[in-house]
Structure 1
C-alpha cells in the first residue's frame, strides 16, 4: 500500500508587504492628500487610490496627478516618500486574518519573512509598529539589492538568508510582478486576491500556483501549494 504524506505547512513563506500583509492604502492616501492640499486640490477618494498602491509610489503619484508631466511627477517622488514616512503606520493595519495566518505558520514551525519593493528604510520602520520586528526572519526592500521584483534576486537572497532552498519557500503576493519573481526564482506562488488590483489586472493570467481569497484560508496547511 502506498504511503500518503501528511499535509504539512511549508518550510518557509515569503510575503509581499503592501496589499498582501498590510493594508497600507490609508497611509498612502494621507501622503497623497498632503501633496494635493499643498497644491490646493481636494483629497483623493481612497477607493480611487487603493488599486494603484501595489504598483508603487510613481503609480500612486501618477493616479493623483494625471495632468502633470511625467518628468515633473518624477521629481515629486521624494516629497511623496517624506509625507508617507510621517504617516507610516498611523492609518493602515494588517488585513483581516493576517495575524491568524502568521500565528498558524509560527505554530507549525514555518519560517516567514518579507520581500517588498518598498524602500527598506520605510519597511523597517513599520516592523516594530506591527510587532513583527522579531517575528519576521528576513526583510528585503526594493533598494536592498541591485534588482527588485519582478527580478528573482530579492527572493533568492531572502531564501539564502533564512537558510531554506528556494523551491522549499513559497512566495505570496498580490501583484503580477510578485508571481513573475516567484516563478523565476523557482518558488511556488500564492496570488493574494484580497490585495490591490487595477480593473484591467487578470490574476488568472499570472499563472500562480494557487489563488486565495482571504488570509484566513492560509491557516490551513492544505491551502498552500505543493512544494516541488
Structure 2
C-alpha cells in the first residue's frame, strides 16, 4: 500500500472498542421503553450510524421527535457508562505514534461526538496529538455524507490524493467514496471482509498494524 500524507480514522471499532459501553447505553434506553427482545449483536451492527438511525433500525420507530428523545436519553447514559467501558485496540497507540513519527498528519472523523472522543483519547494521548477531530456535532449531514472528511481536508489543507480514510464499516467505505479519497478497511467490528470488499478500497486488514506496514 502506498504511503499517504494524511491518515483519517473512524473511531468506534476502528481505533477503539466501545461496544460494551454502546450496548449498555442502548439497552438502558430500549429497556426503559419496553424493547426487551433486542440482542447485543443487533445493537452492535448499528455502530457507526447516527443515534436516531440506530434507534429507528432497532425499534422500527420513524417519528423524529421520539427518536430525538431517545438520542437525548442515550447521551445521558453515555456520560455515565461510555468512557469507563471503552478501550483502544492493542495496536492503536503503536500505529498512531509510528505514523506521527514518520511525519504523517492524523485525525478522526466519526459520528461519535467530538467531546466524547476527546475524553476517551485524552486518557492515552497528549493534548494536540491529533491534528483534527471531527465529531457528530461538527457536521450538518452525517456519514456517509463526505462533509466530515471534506471539513478535515480543507482545514488541514491537505490533498485528497494523499489522504487515506480508515474505517470498519460500509458506512465508512461509502463516506470515503463520496469524498473521493482512498479507503482502507479494518476488520475490528461487525462488518465482514466480503461486505467491505463491495466498495472501492486499497486494503482490507485484520488489524491496524497491517495497514501501517
TM above 0.5, yes or no, is yes
The answer on whether the counterparts of 1:17 and 1:115 sit within 8 Å (CA) in structure 2 is: yes
Match of 1:208 in 2: 201
- How far apart are the structure 2 equivalents of 1:205 and 1:129? 36
- Structure 1: gaps of 5 or more residues: 1-6, 221-228
Match of 2:165 in 1: 171
Shift of 1:99: 1.6
Shift of 1:43: 9.5
Q: Select which of 180, 184, 191 maps to 1:190.
A: 184
- How far apart are the structure 2 equivalents of 1:181 and 1:61? 21
- TM-score where L is the length of structure 1: 0.79
- How far apart are the structure 2 equivalents of 1:51 and 1:91? 18
Q: Select which of 87, 97, 105 maps to 1:103.
A: 97
Match of 1:4 in 2: none
Which whole-Å deviations, capped at 9, do the CAs of 1:161-211 have from their partners, x for residues lacking one?
Answer: 2232121111011122222222232211101222233x7x82111222221
Based on CA coordinates, which of the two structures has the bigger radius of gyration? 1
Match of 1:141 in 2: 135
- Structure 2: gaps of 5 or more residues: none
Which whole-Å deviations, capped at 9, do the CAs of 1:22-62 have from their partners, x for residues lacking one?
Answer: 11111112212333554577696544432221223235435
Task: Give the superposed CA RMSD.
Answer: 2.6
Give matches, 1:122-141, under 5 Å. 122-131=116-125, 133-141=127-135
Task: Report the 3-state secondary structure (helix = DSSP H, G, I; strand = E; otherwise coil) of the residue aligned with 2:83.
Answer: coil
Whether 2:92 is the aligned partner of 1:94: answer no
The answer on whether the counterparts of 2:203 and 2:211 sit within 8 Å (CA) in structure 1 is: no
The answer on whether the counterparts of 2:111 and 2:143 sit within 8 Å (CA) in structure 1 is: yes
- How far apart are the structure 2 equivalents of 1:126 and 1:50? 19
Match of 1:17 in 2: 11
Match of 2:212 in 1: 219
